[in-house]
Structures are given as C-alpha cells and as structure tokens.
Structure 1
Amino acid sequence: MNRVTEMATSALAAFCVGVAVWPPWSEALYWSAVADAVGTIPTLAVVFAVCAVAGGAAARLGLSLESLTAGGAIAYALGMAGIEATMSPDSPVHFLLYAALLGCFLLGALATSAGVGEAISRRLADG
C-alpha cells in the first residue's frame, strides 16, 4: 500500500471510529443512557478504552503509526469542520472530546506498535 492510500485508509478508519463511538448528532448518542445507569466517569473510561482497542486493531492490520497519526489529524479536521458547518454547537466541547478520542485511538496504535500486548502476554504466561 502506498503512503497516500495508507493515510487515506487511516483517515477513514479514524473518522469511522469517532462517529461510531461518539455519534455527533444527539439522537444517536447511546452513551447518554449508559452514563445515566453507571455514571459519567465509567462510561468515558469504556469509550476511551474502545477507541484505544480500535487504534490497536488498526495498527495490527498493518497501518503504520505515522499514517494513523496523519490520517487521524485529517479525520479530526474534517470532522470538526463538518460539525461546525452543519450543527452549530452551543459550546466547543466537541473539539476536546474528539481530540481525546483520537488521542486514545493513537495510544492504542502506539501500544500495539511497541509490542505492549505481546510483552504483557509473555509476562502472564511466565507466571
């Protein structure tokens, strides 16, 4: 896969994860019901963990950390421009939320690229 294709694939992956994990339109935001049941902090912990796992999966599928970072930045910029243009949000909190989601996505990719999962598995297997 050439660099442009890999970056475009990475941008699409990051964009889809962001929309799937935290839909920008309030009617589809299923996490509100979860937060009402278990609380905001545990809900955000699950959301951020899901993003990290998705980033790890993207890295495991062969997307480089560089492409995921560049593609993630493109997805973030396009997503924020889209939200601003179509939804007229009351506050800028979406900038912070989606930046945190992207950060967790990239941390998951970084951990996978660095072999953190394999090191933990070896350590657990050794007892």
Structure 2
Amino acid sequence: MATRKKTLDSGECLWESGQLGQSEQHVRVATPEEMAEVDAALGLQMISIRLQKGLIDALKEIASYHGIGYQPMIRDLLNRFARSEIKTILESRLSGLEKEPEEPPMKPVDDFVARLKAA
C-alpha cells in the first residue's frame, strides 16, 4: 500500500516544510548502539582528520547556504572527487594499454620459426 504525504493547502509536503518531525518531542540523541547500526546500514566508518579552522568555517557556511549539514556535504564532495579520480586513472591505464603492441616479440620463438622455415 502506498503512503500518502500530508500536504498543506499549497501542496507543500508537511515534512519538507518542517511542520512535521522537527519539534522537541521528535528529537533525541541516538544511543551509541543506534549510531553503530546506522553506520553499518550506510557503510560508514568514523575517521579523524585535521583541517584548518578557516576551511571548516567556510565549509559550514557553504553547507548552511545550501541547507545541508557540512559533514554530509564533505562526504559528498569526497565521493565525487574519488569517482572522478578513479575514472581518470582508469582512462589513463586504458590509454596506456592501447599504445602497447598486442604481443611483445619473442626472440626464441622467432628464431625457432626461422629455423623451421630454413629447413
């Protein structure tokens, strides 16, 4: 059975407008066990990284402007960068393979074939 989103008269979704799920009664701190469960479900691993304070402030400002958290934004940026770099590396490797001769010459085999032809 499909669920229906509750909407305002304007058609805006109550959840997306912030009228549902953002009150104090709907907020609590997750337990460590719940956080571990979420991390496992999303395939996340906690790391520690040191960044310049000014960079963190700038990232927080950018994320705030876009209405998202700065940590998910950083995760998205790193994912995009990693995919792009892997693509570049694979294209470079493929290009290198295309430039190599199909089979390297085999002197002992070539000598053997030449002797057979001479006989």
* Interval of TM-score (by shorter of Structure 1 and Structure 2): under 0.3
Structure (1 or 2) with the greater helix fraction: 1
Relative contact order, higher structure (CA 8 A, sep 6+): 1
TM-score after normalising by structure 1: 0.24
